Amino acid sequence: MQMKVGLFAVSLSLASSHAAAQVPDSNWAGRWTLNVANSVLAPAIPKSEVIVIPAPGWSANVVKYTISTTAGDGSSFNVSFDGAADGKPYPVMSDGKETAQGAWHRRSSHHYTATFTYPHGTTVAVAIVMAPDGKRYTLQTHVTTSSGRAHITAPANIYDETEVFDKE
């Protein structure tokens, strides 16, 4: 459950075709659904995942979202974040309890990065880039676990995911 925070999810290099694009901050607002077919996921693939970013969207002053996930086994959980893209750590909440600290950075209107730190030492570095048309974003996640096991089943101490989300 805690790994879904890494969906935003959110470092790592992304396609240069997105680098020059600028999108309005309001394009981030809305309901986003995981496109499993276009994603490269760790072995524990979620059955479904929806991310809601409230209006007015993201900016340097606001990074706010709620993630609702249903795992392959039918279990579900919610993760929320309410902070800023100022590099300072803010709490990540999962079903009402703080599970990690997340620090976001705004690289441009269409590109954000973050690092999430969990109490047991796992770190999750993410980069999120919105497509120029504002209808899709790609989230790249790099996870390094402290114990040799991830929160979800993973083959090694370090692994990567690429998740694609489409705007509903």
Residue 10, pLDDT above cutoff 50 = no
pLDDT at 23: 73
Question: What pLDDT is recorded for position 19?
Answer: 42
SS (H, E, C) the chain: CHHHHHHCCCCCCCCHHHCCCCCCHHHHCEEEEECHHHCECCCCCCCEEEEEECCCCCCCCCEEEEEEEECCCCCEEEEEEEECCEEEEEEEEECCEEEEEEEEEEEECCEEEEEEECCCCCEEEEEEEECCCCCEEEEEEEEECCCCCCCCCCCCCEEEEEEEEEEC
Give the model's pLDDT for residue 75: 85
- For 125-138, the pLDDT digits (tens) are 999 999 999 999 99
Instruction: Give the tens place of pLDDT for each residue, 72-110.
Output: 778 888 999 999 999 999 999 998 899 999 999 999 999
| 12 pLDDT above the threshold of 50 | no
Average pLDDT over residues 151-161: 56
Comparing 146 with 144, which gets the higher pLDDT? Answer: 144
**Structurally, how many domains does the chain consist of?**
1
pLDDT in tens, 20-72: 456 788 889 999 999 989 998 876 666 778 889 988 888 878 999 999 988 77
Q: What is the CATH number of the domain that holds 99?
A: 2.40.128.20
